[in-house]
Amino acid sequence: MNPFDEIAVEEAVRLKEKKIAQEIVAVSCGPAQSQETLRTALAMGVDRGIHVEVSGPEYDTLQPIHVSKILAKLAQDEKADIVIVGKQAIDDDSNQTAQMTAALLDWPQATFASKIEKQNGELQVTREIDGGLETIKVKLPAVVSADLRLNEPRYATLPNIMKAKKKPIKKVSPKDLGVDTAARIEVLSVEDPPTRQAGVILPDVDQLIVKLKEGGHVQ
């Protein structure tokens, strides 16, 4: 499971343990292996899973825009109050799904959450931003994305894994949800970064200035 999603699942389970959340539904879009990811979520304490089956070439071109549409539709169908996701996936680092989902639903968003508290029917979320921490209030329903320091996910225990086997996983397809998964982006090329050139060891600062001037790095 994507580490940030794991943190999101952990937070959801904690919300349920604090009796703030009533039911947790985990969603995974992908091929058959997604079921195993869902089982891990179920073992952590999620109540039921939805597997949106996407495989083969369709899966290769799946983008955040498609996933957001899927999540938005499911959030409406399931009458969810909170959609919580990891801030980004560690394979593409897109950091788009939470934002797009919120926009599609026209819900407020609280991204890069490092702390979530419920106060009077609203969520108070502390966000990690470049300048430090920002605390905002969002009305429910809302979309939240989990950042690294939100929590430390629990380890799945073997008894919970056994219990998870009995929890239901519903299978649907993007088409069932009215989502067109045709590719919106065409990948033109993928290249390795240039190999690092060897450095030079210089005897003193004067030499350094000479070299820098030669390279046109200083005037």
Q: Which residues bind other proteins (CB under 8 A)?
A: 36, 39, 43, 155-159, 161-162, 165
In whole angstroms, the minimum distance from the beta carbon of 18 to other proteins comes to 20
In whole angstroms, the minimum distance from the beta carbon of 150 to other proteins comes to 19
In whole angstroms, the minimum distance from the beta carbon of 38 to other proteins comes to 12
Beta strands in the chain (DSSP E): 25-30, 48-53, 82-86, 109-119, 122-129, 132-139, 142-146, 169-172
- Which CB atom, from 35 or from 61, has the smaller least distance to other proteins? 35
Question: Taking the CA of residue 219 as centre, how many other CA atoms within 13 Å lie in the half-sphere pointing to its CB?
Answer: 0
**Pair type for strands 109-119 and 122-129:** antiparallel
- Which CB atom, from 165 or from 196, has the smaller least distance to other proteins? 165
H or E, element range at 167: none
Q: Which among 190, 183, 170 has a CA at the least distance from the CA of 64?
A: 183
**What residues are paired with 128 via a beta bridge?**
133
- Which CB atom, from 25 or from 161, has the smaller least distance to other proteins? 161
H or E, element range at 188: none
Q: Which among 179, 168, 175, 181 has a CA at the least distance from the CA of 35?
A: 168
In whole angstroms, the minimum distance from the beta carbon of 186 to other proteins comes to 36
In whole angstroms, the minimum distance from the beta carbon of 37 to other proteins comes to 12
- Which CB atom, from 165 or from 175, has the smaller least distance to other proteins? 165
| DSSP notation for 43-81 | HHT-SEEEEEE--THHHHT--HHHHHHHHHHHHHHTT-S
CA–CA dist 200, 3 (Å, integer): 40
- Which CB atom, from 104 or from 164, has the smaller least distance to other proteins? 164
In whole angstroms, the minimum distance from the beta carbon of 144 to other proteins comes to 27
- Which CB atom, from 36 or from 60, has the smaller least distance to other proteins? 36
In whole angstroms, the minimum distance from the beta carbon of 160 to other proteins comes to 8
- Which CB atom, from 40 or from 126, has the smaller least distance to other proteins? 40
